[in-house]
Structure 1
Amino acid sequence: MLIENRNYLRLQQRSLIKEIDEVEINRDKIVVENARKGMPTLVIKNQSRTKYLHSKYDPYSEAERIVKSVNLKRETKHVILFGVGLGYHIIELLKKYPTITMSIYEPDRELLATFLKNFSLESIEKGTLSCILPINSSLSNELAILQQRYGNNIEVFPLPTYEDLFKKELEELYKSLITTLKNQKGNFVANVTFQKRWTINAVKNFPAVLNTPNIFKDINTNHFKDKPAIIVAAGPSLNKEFDNLKKIKEQGLAYIFSVGSAINALIENNIYPDAACTYDPSEHNQVVFEKLKDKQINDIPIIFGSTVGYETIENYPGDMVHMITSQDTVSAALLENSKEIDRVNDAPSIAVVTYQLLEKLGFTQVYLVGQNLAFLDSKMYAEGIEYGKDIDENNSENLLTVQDVEGNKIVTNEGYDSMRRQLEQSIASTPNVQVYNTTVGGAKIEGTSFILLSNVIDKHFSNHVVAPNWYKGTSNYNIDHVNKMLLKYKREQENLEKLLYELEIILEKLHSKINSNEKAKLENNLNKFDRVFKKMKNNNYYISFISPMIRVQTETLAEKSKNIKYDIDSSTKISQINQHFGKYIREVINHLEFTKPFYEDLIKSVRITQDHA
């Protein structure tokens, strides 16, 4: 590797240095030789086949011709170079499109090592190269970062010789980009749908969090270490497994955790799981537990996410245990040493959240039951779930075909397919857990082994492993600390109100001077606005209670402010600030007023909790 490249990677991508240093280039396979015009060219020799990645006559002229034929879209901000060879086209592309940024994705490690031995990354203008994308499982994470930064304004530019040589890898890159984009759209939809509910649920649920044991810190996790667990989902294949699950429950052969609507199918068949898990922030989530509440079943403990729809846990008749979720900014603000408290990441499916939970608790064998993630005989849900609907498989809109556990084709939809991909990612990141899929007719889930549940009972289970009353524990949060933080955030709430009033006054002044020639005063007011706006953004109440509820609005403002920043016309700039920042400030004011009664109720509830302690 060139010294300047090593220095660059040491600052930008240190982990890649070791990876490249470990690559041994096969000199019989990858050869750098001189082209007819004297500059180096690159050859791949594979058995009887020889393939030049660049012209064997004049690589420079070839690169010029290749780039000349490239027409990026006007809105393109970032280009992923698929295959770089010796990098001739990189310089030509930047000559033609000097404002774009780029990433390098070289699908062959030996070719990447060869590139770094011959091409100086310092020849690319500073700030232009975002990264060299990894050839491993973290590729999707890096693509997600790029799409967060550049949105849909990304294009892939494959070096023509690579399109044939690495056809499969190129297809995989396109698939990964599409998947990442779908996940981002899913995140955007989730933000739009739940951004207010996450915070209000966290506030409303906080007294229950204080009064119930935390699954990670107040429960003896030795009960679960190296034990088997079953995640029971509500897919139609669950209908085949009630007898098997009843046997497992009666003999305590494994811990049974129901997820989502599966609780109703299990209750209907007189099977009480060891716990019901729930995290859905929607108001509708309470419907899942109506049957259990109506029957006053008090011997099924519930493990609830701290941002679950608050209606779900109101008047719950059984024991409750909680887990802090990644969307909970309230607990993070109010609990002592909150950064040290383990939490689960939000996901599109309670099965994914529960899988995270089980892995963190120390379970090493996890069995999936009723996890269809597809339709079975046009059914979405198991029997006993009254709000489940059949689907019309002949209406192909939003439907797609995937492989089932036995290699057959089955029908699913985008929602289920997204859940499957998320579950696969979670499984891939936890090699310490052996995951078995027992769902007959369900979608194939990468990283799992298919086995019938009856065979699991015969071959995998033998002893009673479920500890009695494992869910009993005592919450030991520091209530005095919580009260101190509540008072601190009350003061921050009052300060935020003052800052918002000040911002409105400055905006009025700017608006009144929009056509003024007093540039010094205008500049002074603009600078003052920037300072006060930054104070608002740094206000703790804004950060923990308001900002999470207006994520989409914040992203929109960030996009708009990029253009405002570089506007040199004062009147246009002030007009844009009034329009976009004014609208955002009104959003903050509205949400501040909206949260006030909830916050007052929270203070009272915590005082009651302390009085009863």
Structure 2
Amino acid sequence: MLAENQRFLQNHYPALWQQWNQIQHEQVWQQYEIIPSHAGLPTLQVHVDGRSLYLHSKYNPEQEADRLVEQLQDKIKSCDHLFFYGIGLGYHVEKILSMFPDKAFTIYEPNPWIFFRFLSYKRLTEWPIQRLRYLYVETDAASRRRCLAEFANALEVNVELIALPSYERIFADSFQQFLCQFRDIIQSKRINLATEFAFSKRWTLNSVMNLPTTLRSPSIFSRKEHFRSKPVLLVAAGPSLQEEYHNLRYIKEKGLAYIFAVGSANRALVANGILPDAVCTYDPQAHNFAVFWDMIDKGIDANVPMIYGTSVGYETIQKYKGPKFYAVTSQDTVTPYYLDSLDRSEVIDDAFSIAIITLQILAKLEANPVILVGQNFAFRDNYYYAKEIKRGEKQTAEVLEHERHGLMQVKDVYGHLITTNESLNQMRLLMEHYIQRYSQIEVINTTKGGADIVGAPFIPLETVISTRLTEKVVEENWHVSRQSDTAQAVEPKIENMNQAMVDFIKGYQDISALLDELAQTAQRRKEGKLLKLFARFDEQFRRWMNNDFFDIYVRPIVRVDTELLQKEAHTIREEKDPIAKADKVVRSFRRYLHTCQQVYNEMAPFVQIYLHPKLTREEPGWKRYECTSSAFHYSGQWRKKEIKIQKQSSMESDVIGTYYETNEPNATIKFTFKGTAIRVIGARHADGADEIRIAIDGRIDKFSVREKDIPPSFPLKFHQMLFEKYDLNVGEHLVEIVLQGDGVFFFQGIECKDCRC
């Protein structure tokens, strides 16, 4: 029995097998003894502090397991994944797995000696190992953190913790430590998952819309010499901020430290006559710019640099007029593709607090010390924000009703208990994580009455001023642009991405055809052919997912769908019946393929109409006229079409591109221009017209906008050069473009050389 389990561990869990070799000769074994119960079934006796305790009933362990399952069955039915904490000899685990054959599970044994006693009693292979996702054996606090971190990264949407009650009694301290960490990772994962659902498309769209500004702007890390070993105040908008205005004003006047305002803190500072040295922002939502509205409205923004995460709401970048510095965030896949000069070590982990984003930036800038101001992470006197910050329908800084959900108490900087909620507490825990990660910098918490932040000792700001901030360090012109801050050439990346878009569509068609073939072959019950088709499908699907457009624009938006597909794929791989397997492959992958196509259809026009034209350098002597120009005279039935960004939770939208289309024979565009060359710009598609006549000064040519490689279910291929004519005589030219025959003509405008219309 034990030898068979050892071979299983050696083949599938070699790290656990090594643990066994390390501890099998230790005397601790004597504390754990398998003995018969009164019913004859084995139970496990634990000798602790002179007492003999039982992990299972000393009378009948199976009946005890039945009672436990009866208590838990409603919770088990509603979950997706079972997390067993403490297995003992596995009675309850075996019972639950047999009753619920659709549940995936994880085994977590906090006691290695109990686990290896279990291995001498039960064959692991007798359990449904194909449903086992993780097998963990804790050896110390560090191993517990590693195991939970790994589990959190691939956490199921709905997980149920099942702890063997005897562990809660016998190993109470260890269990409580585990429980606190487990609840933290579950809550954090739920917040992250909800955020991904809400913002996955918005992150990518923002990155697209912000990229032209990003490529023209300097990285904040290009200014590292101004901040290295200099004190920086990270000023948040917590209710304790209102106690520090006089201190902050003094620091600002004397230049004793840089003041970085995060989130809404700029409002409170500006209202009290304190101009921050920089404002920091990263929120992807459309309304994010509102936190800077006071500065924008008064024109103050022109004098205050903004440090922005590249996936921030694009409206903020468009409305804020001051100098801008970027920091690439981990949610942005677009900028790293086009920005060859990016140092990957400077990418900032996305987080659900701008203060945590800014702390990472300051750590990478090597600022020291970082001084937290107004970072309460808790309520104070029923206030969520400093009093100057008005929000919500009641225009108040007080705690709103929805912020009272999940209330809890934590220790404050004085050792007393204060009230917070789950969201603020998760922010605090994450900040503690990054403080520990960047242990090379000193972090000081000056927030009076705020939550205690491990790793950031509390020192009142006036004390910090008198002992640490004793000389001027601020360079007022640190943000002044330098010649090196210039946009790079990205034409090769644009060319590669354009080809990737073509390959994406072709790959989609190939995979769709192969799924059809799988379905037909399964219907005819040709099992031998199915095995060959599975291999072909795996290869084609893998190649398609390596496509640049998929990787940069689609994958980030469908990440939740991809996780679900991976879970389904794990189950599909275990299916032994080729026909049933083919049915599952077709259903799961068709659904995923359709989702990816929808994302392509939404993102491709933004890339073609907005991003690539803005990144392309203008050719000398050429000028562009959009289809909305008064130079064009339309006759016949033309439809004006707009490519829009729909705002979240709003009927508003931003128009990023316009084109005209017609399918009426003899519909015409007339215009005149002076110049030596002309290009007609528009879109191609499978539904496009195959015959369009263009007459320049009476000389007739023809062109087509039909492209058979673009199926009707995919969007137009925009920003294409449909026709070009060079070596025209200097002078005025009359142009007439007429649709002839069937199909649709999609017109975006013209480009002309040495011209004016």
* Structures share fold, TM-score greater than 0.5: yes
Structure 1 residues 168 and 571, CA gap change in structure 2 (3 angstroms): closer
Match of 2:250 among 247, 250, 254: 247
> What code does the residue aligned with 2:227 have?
F
Question: SS of the counterpart of 2:346?
Answer: coil
1:206 is aligned, of 207, 211, 221, to 211
How far, CA to CA, are the matches of 1:437 and 1:24 in structure 2?
Answer: 48
| Alignment equivalent of 2:310, drawn from 306, 309, 326 | 306
Task: Give CA deviations for 1:509-546 in whole Å, capped at 9, x if unaligned.
Answer: 677x5995364798477766555443332211111111
Q: Structure 1 residue 552 and structure 2 residue 555: aligned? A: no
Q: In the alignment, which of 220, 224, 229 is matched to residue 226 of structure 1?
A: 229
CA contact under 8 A between 2:329 and 2:350: conserved in structure 1? yes
Give 1:268's match in structure 2, choosing from 271, 275, 296: 271
In structure 2, the partner of 1:456 is 464
The percentage of aligned residue pairs carrying the same residue is 29
Q: Distance in 2 between matches of 1:95 and 1:383?
A: 57
Secondary structure of 1:210's match? helix
Contact 2:383/2:399 (8 A) holds in 1: no
> 1:27-46: CA deviations, max 9, x gaps?
7x974679699x99775454
Of 493, 499, 524, 1:491 maps to: 499
Classify the secondary structure of the residue corresponding to 2:234: strand
Shift of 1:484: 1.1
SS of the equivalent of 2:325 reads strand
Report what 2:161 is aligned to: 155
Which whole-Å CA distance do the structure 1 matches of 2:371 and 2:121 have between them? Answer: 48
Distance in 2 (alpha carbons) for counterparts of 1:19 and 1:303: 52
| Alpha-carbon distance in 2 for matches of 1:122, 1:95 | 14
Alignment of 1:30-429 (within 5 A): 31=31, 44=47, 46=49, 49-52=50-53, 67=65, 70-71=68-69, 73=76, 80=83, 82-83=85-86, 89-90=89-90, 93-94=93-94, 97=97, 101-106=105-110, 112=112, 124-125=124-125, 128=132, 130-133=135-138, 135-136=140-141, 139-140=144-145, 142-147=147-152, 148-158=154-164, 160-216=165-221, 218-219=222-223, 221-297=224-300, 298-336=302-340, 338=342, 340-387=344-391, 389-391=396-398, 398-403=405-410, 404-429=412-437
Distance 1:491 1:396 in 2: 48
SS of the residue 1:594 aligns to: helix
**8 Å CA contact retained: 2:84, 2:105:** no
Checking the alignment, whether the CA contact within 8 Å between 2:384 and 2:399 is kept in structure 1 is no
Task: Determine the C-alpha separation between the residues in 2 that align with 1:370 and 1:436.
Answer: 12
Shifted more, 462-471 versus 7-16: the winner is: 7-16
Alpha-carbon displacement from aligned partner over 1:346-372 (angstroms, at most 9, x marks no partner): 001000111111122213322211112
| C-alpha distance in structure 2 between counterparts of 1:124 and 1:95, whole Å | 14
1:536 to 521, 537, 544: 544
Alpha-carbon distance in 2 for matches of 1:124, 1:510: 36
**Residue 113 of structure 1, CA deviation:** 6.6
SS in 1 for 2:557: helix
Q: Structure 2 vs 1, CA of residues 45 and 610 (structure 1 numbering), >3 Å: closer, same or farther?
A: farther
What stretches of structure 2 of length at least 5 have no aligned partner? 621-757
User: Which secondary structure does the structure 2 equivalent of 1:542 belong to?
Assistant: helix
Distance 1:145 1:610, change over 3 A: farther
What is the letter of the counterpart of residue 374 of structure 1?
Answer: A
| Residue deviations 1:4-50 (CA, integer Å, cap 9, x gap) | 979958985759969996999787x974679699x99775454xx43
* Cα drift, residue 233 of structure 1: 0.6
* Structure with greater helix percent: 1
Structure number with the higher strand fraction is: 2
What number of residue pairs does the alignment pair up? 591
What are the superposed Cα offsets for residues 443-479 of structure 1, whole Å, 9 maximum, x if unpaired? 2323322222112212232122223433345656883
Query: What is the CA–CA distance in structure 1 between the aligned matches of 2:46 and 2:287, rounded to whole Å?
Result: 61
For 1:279 and 1:329, how far apart are their aligned partners in 2? 15
Residues 176, 6 of structure 1: CA spacing in aligned structure 2 closer, same or farther, 3 A cutoff? Answer: farther
Aligned to 1:448, the other structure's residue is in SS state coil
C-alpha deviation, 1:608, in angstroms? 3.5
Deviation at 1:327, TM superposition (A): 0.5
The CA deviation at 1:254 is: 1.8
Q: What is the CA-CA distance between 1:315 and the residue it aligns to?
A: 4.5
Please state if 1:430 is matched with 2:438: yes
Q: Quick check: 1:306–1:324 contact (8 Å CA) kept in 2?
A: yes
Of stretches 501-510 and 299-308 in structure 1, the one that deviates more from structure 2 is 501-510
Partners of 1:400 and 1:301 in 2: CA distance: 37
Contact between 2:36 and 2:43, CA under 8 Å: does it hold in 1? Answer: no
Number of the residue aligned with 2:524: 517
Q: Name the amino acid aligned to 2:615.
A: V
Q: Residue 256 of structure 1: SS of its match in structure 2? A: strand
Give me the TM-score of the superposition, normalised by structure 2.
Answer: 0.67
Distance 2:250 2:319 in 1: 31
Q: CA RMSD in A?
A: 4.3
Q: Counterpart of 2:187 in 1: which secondary structure?
A: helix
Task: Identify the residue that residue 606 of structure 1 maps to in structure 2.
Answer: 615
Q: Hey, what's the Cα distance between the residues in 1 that align with 2:48 and 2:582?
A: 59
Q: Any conservation in 2 of the 1:32–1:40 contact (CA below 8 Å)? A: no
5+ residue gaps, structure 1, are none
Query: 1:119 and 1:518 mapped to 2: Cα distance?
Result: 43
User: 2:280, 2:358 within 8 Å by CA — same for their partners in 1?
Assistant: yes
Decide which moves more: 333-342 or 486-495.
333-342
The CA distance in 2 between the partners of 1:453 and 1:19, in whole Å, is 53
In the superposition, relative to structure 1, how do residues 514 and 345 fare at CA in structure 2: closer, same or farther (>3 Å)? same
Asked if 1:584 is matched to 2:584, the reply is no
Contact (CA 8 Å) 1:5, 1:120: kept in 2 or not?
Answer: no
Return the structure number with greater relative CO, CA threshold 8 A, min gap 6: 1
Alpha carbons of structure 1 residues 119 and 478: separation in structure 2 relative to 1, 3 Å: farther
Larger radius of gyration: 2
Contact 1:374–1:443 (Cα < 8 Å) also in 2: yes
SS at match of 2:556: helix
1:5–1:122 CA contact under 8 A, matched in 2: no
Change in CA separation of 1:225 and 1:116 when aligned onto 2, cut-off 3 Å? farther
Contact residue 257 and residue 274 of structure 1 kept, 8 A:
yes
Distance in 2 between the 1:74 and 1:386 partners? 45
Cα deviation for residue 74 of structure 1 reads 5.4
Task: Give per-residue Cα distances to partners, 1:165-219, cap 9 Å, x unaligned.
Answer: 3223212322322222221211121111111111111111112221112123x22
Write the distance in 1 (CA, Å) between the matches of 2:360 and 2:589.
Answer: 39
Distance 1:43 1:444 in 2: 39
- SS state at 1:479 partner: coil
Task: Give the counterpart letter for 1:360 in structure 2.
Answer: K
Kept after mapping to 2: 8 A contact 1:6/1:17: no
